[in-house]
Chain A
């Protein structure tokens, strides 16, 4: 009884929850690709996405002392990145709004008849929902890739995403071809399991 009371008092006075720690020297290796994919699906511009990721890391480093350790490192970086993306759009809109001329179908009286055809959705074209789903899928795959051991993730990315030749990867990583296929097999199996749990069961 007294022991339980003692434990409760201790828990109230000291936070025993394991705190997350920041490790800025590993940010680029661990999160750069994930943050880049997250950003590019929202800004649609490679250079802007690269800049925003860089800015996020720098802002993270600046405000590292404010990190309480309650959230995971990645979640914390994503929250900074979200703010950076919002700021980016605010900046664009403040410039764009000044020179924008709005045109609508209601203004096109002289082209009567054309509008209906223009407005019909093209079934072979990717609609907004497809695009959104693919963006979410990209993030889900990135999340699963981050759970893999570094070597497996590296080999999988080089082979599957960057489309490198087997021979080149073997040379670069100093591994044999049969070793590469074993690594690929392990990575694919782990990714399939991960996506089944995190993507298909959503």
Chain B
């Protein structure tokens, strides 16, 4: 059986992988074209793309903040010094 990859048609897994890249603006035009082609007929890809887009939107809206590593290390040190 041939395992040669099609130029235009991609698997569902590959489409999801490209969709992830799209969320971070790291998919090439060619990849986006292939994803859009698959979106025309694949329900699973369509559903994944919709959910993935929603997650990106929610993450942007939530404006989650994290403590930097330096601050975390400082906290760890203070905790350790109190523990002893």
Contact = CB atoms under 8 A, between A and B. Distances in A.
Q: A and B: real partners?
A: yes
B78 interface: yes
Contacts, number: 86
Interface of A is mostly: helix
B35 to A, nearest CB: 14
A1 to B, nearest CB: 51
Nearest to A138: B62
Given A28-B72, A185-B20, A188-B52, A50 B79 contact: no
Given A134-B62, A138-B63, A138-B64, A57 B55 contact: no
Interface in A156-184: 157, 159-162, 166, 181, 184
A192 B67 CA distance: 24
Residues of B in contact with A, size category: 20 to 34
Interface of B is mostly: helix
Interface stretch (A33-41, A81-89, A91-99, A113-121): A33-41
A8 interface: no
Interface in B52-75: 52, 54-55, 58-59, 61-67, 71-72, 75
Given A28-B72, A195-B55, A53 B79 contact: no
B55 to A, nearest CB: 5
Interface of B: 16-17, 20-21, 23-24, 26, 51-52, 54-55, 58-59, 61-67, 71-72, 75-76, 78-80, 82-83
Interface of A: 24-25, 27-29, 32-33, 36-37, 40, 46, 50, 53-54, 57-58, 61-62, 134, 137-138, 140-142, 157, 159-162, 166, 181, 184-185, 188, 191-192, 195-196, 199
Q: Pick the 3 closest A-B CB pairs, nearest first.
A: A138-B62, A137-B62, A192-B51
